[in-house]
Amino acid sequence: MTYPNRTVTLILVLLIASIFFETYESRVHKSIKRNELIENFKRLFAPTSEKSFTTWFGNVITPQYIFRPNSLDDLKDIVKNAKINGKKIRCAGRGHSWTSLSNTKDYLVIVNNLSNVTEVTKTDTYGWTITALAGTQIKTMEQALLKNNPPLAFKTMPAPDFFSASGIIAVAAHGGVTAAPSASDLVVKLQMVSGDGELQEFSNEKDPVEFNAAKLNLGEF
């Protein structure tokens, strides 16, 4: 296969984040009973019936609930639920990271169903950019880039092409090309749902320090 010689050096990703909650939330809400929790799930996005999530390395994560959101609204619902019930959230994509950073006893949010390339466009500031949802696989982004006129490609990417956009950004995954940037260095802007259930945007222009922490976040930001 011949690769197009134009490369996309920067990607723009809608990243759905893991969330930290203020400890006072837990204290305020710790008296909420289980039946109230179930009532909440009737109104808000419900967890799957899965009891555990096994990573590629065989780590078995047994959270209280596993969620597979299909939209931004689902995700906001999950965050609201977590806030009401004083729970923390960890995320997972394809579960291929070396250590089990997705481990939690509270809520595990698997983002694989949040998959779409929403835009491939040329910008004045960054050149060609691609915008995708957190769970979009590398191959889906590569197909969208190849279909573009002119055809585009990433400079380098990890070999297995089914990893999720948010998973490779969170751990700064890399391909085999010497001196090529890591996946997190390709990001020019990202959006995350924070603990208050609102969508926050991070970029160099807004705040370079926060942006750096948000990119290579190890699922802990």
Ligand X SMILES: *[C@@H]1O[C@H](CO)[C@@H](O)[C@H](O)[C@H]1NC(C)=O
Q: How far is the CB of 163 from ligand FAD (least distance, A)?
A: 4
Among 54, 62, 64, 70, binds ligand X (CB under 6 A): 70
18 binds ligand FAD (CB under 6 A): yes
Among 54, 64, 116, 212, binds ligand X (CB under 6 A): 116
Collapsed DSSP state (helix, strand, coil) of residue 200: strand
Part of the chain binding ligand FAD (CB under 6 A), chosen from 31-39, 58-66, 158-166, 198-206: 158-166
Contacts of 172 (CB under 8 A, 6+ apart): 182, 183, 184, 185, 215, 216
Query: Which one of ligand X, ligand FAD, none interacts with residue 173, CB within 5 to 8 A by kind?
Result: ligand FAD
132 binds ligand FAD (CB under 6 A): no
- CA 133, CA 161: separation in Å to the nearest integer? 16
Q: What is the 3-state secondary structure (H, E, C) of 2-45?
A: CCCCCEECCEEEECCCCECCCHHHHHHHCCCCHHHHHHHHHHCC
82 binds ligand FAD (CB under 6 A): no
- CA 214, CA 220: separation in Å to the nearest integer? 9
Binding site for ligand X (CB under 6 A): 48, 68, 70, 113, 116, 118
